[in-house]
Amino acid sequence: MAWRSCAVLLRLTGKDVLRSSVRAGRWPHSLQQRCGFRKATRKPESRRGEEELGPLHTESPAPLTPSSSPRSFGRLVRPLVFTMGFTGCSFGSAAIWQYESLKSRVQTYFDEIRADWLEKLRPQKRGDVRKEINQWWYSLSEGQRTVTGIIAANALVFCCWRIPSLQRSMIKYFTANPASKTLCAPMLLSTFSHFSFFHMAANMYVLWSFSSSAVSMLGREQFVAVYLSAGVVSTFVSYVCKVATGRLGPSLGASGAIMAVLAAVCTKMPEAKLAIIFLPMYTFTAANALKAIMAVDSAGVLLGWRFFDHAAHLGGSMFGMWYILFGHELIWKNREPFVKLWHELRTRGGPGGPGGGVV
């Protein structure tokens, strides 16, 4: 059962952090998860060391003015605007996606009937790989099929981290750091970024486990909008906490978005039973699990724990709770005017437009 496989991994969804306290300019062999980032005080001992260390220092500009100081809250204006704009675009795109899906459902139904008819006429091939893959794909739940693309994107980015020539760009665009010159794009891209395989595997396992419940509750379009928006919102909360405390540094991982999904499911189904994967005999309610997780993350923020990015976890959890309690009513249920506008733009001048037939 999906619920029974996740609890032990909830604390493993922290975001990795890159540290520059490396020796001779080499990449660290192990990375802490969302802790502070401090530059090495030792100078490179060779030209080769300087070239290898370079990617970790690409965000070290000339002396900053007071208005552009890394600890200035003025630097968070653009991330705030980006967060609001991206969230609006995510839900708008999800509404259009749902409209187009409903519009094509009838056509898809007839296509499937025609395909089944042709399949019966066509001689069957034993060991048809394509048929076996299709059978496996359709045996998955809608939620599992929905998150397959997200998992594939995370795996692709993980592979990119292994390519030395891409590391400079990966640090710039796939790690979120309020002290960086690039602030907005990493808020989204870092949600798909993992440097450690175990970190990625833990995050994707939790996402896979909760996907069926979350998608059946929200629908695939709304789920994707919530997931992407939560990733950006949680990163913004992390930005605010880092600037307020002065503990600046890059971080990455899908934990904020996954915590939003987990919190949404636990808020919607508070009496559902959860269990620790290695201790299935001990069960507890989803509501109690969420309270415990948020209590730990709140303590981490207040006490300055630096192994996980507790601010991002807490931001994702709060966004998931808010969306179930208020956001669904405020955003998703008020999408009708936007969908009508899209319908008018979609059909204007086409078969359903002036002088055409009815779609």
Q: Is 269 helix (H, G, I), strand (E, B) or coil?
A: coil
Q: Which of the following is catalytic: 194, 199, 310, 313?
A: 313
Distance separating the N- and C-terminal Cα atoms of the chain? 43
Domain boundaries, the chain: 1-14+153-340
- 1-14+153-340 homologous superfamily: Rhomboid-like (1.20.1540.10)
Asked if 75 contacts 61 with a C-beta cutoff of 8 angstroms, the reply is no
65 CB burial (10 A radius; 0-12, 13-18, 19+): exposed
The model's pTM is 0.76
Beta strands in the chain (DSSP E): 273-276, 279-285
CB contact at 8 A, 261 and 218: no
Q: What is the pLDDT along the chain (359 residues), one digit of tens a residue?
A: 444 444 434 433 444 444 333 333 344 433 434 433 333 333 444 333 333 223 333 333 333 444 456 667 788 999 999 999 999 999 999 999 999 888 887 666 666 666 555 555 555 555 567 777 877 888 888 889 999 999 999 999 999 999 999 999 999 999 999 988 899 999 999 999 999 999 999 999 999 989 999 999 999 999 999 999 999 999 999 999 999 988 888 889 999 999 999 999 999 998 888 777 767 677 888 889 899 999 999 998 888 887 788 899 999 999 999 999 999 999 999 999 999 999 888 887 544 444 443 33
Catalytic residue among 194, 255, 310, 317: 255
Name the DSSP class of 63: P
343 is catalytic: no
d(CA 164, CA 20): 16
CA distances from 219 to 105, 122, 124, 211, 224 (A): 15, 35, 35, 11, 9
> Can you tell me the distance from the alpha carbon of 252 to that of 260, in angstroms, rounded to the nearest whole number?
16
Closest to 3 in 3D by CA, of 307, 350, 289, 247: 289
Rounded-to-integer distance, Cα 5 and Cα 22, Å: 36
313 a catalytic residue: yes
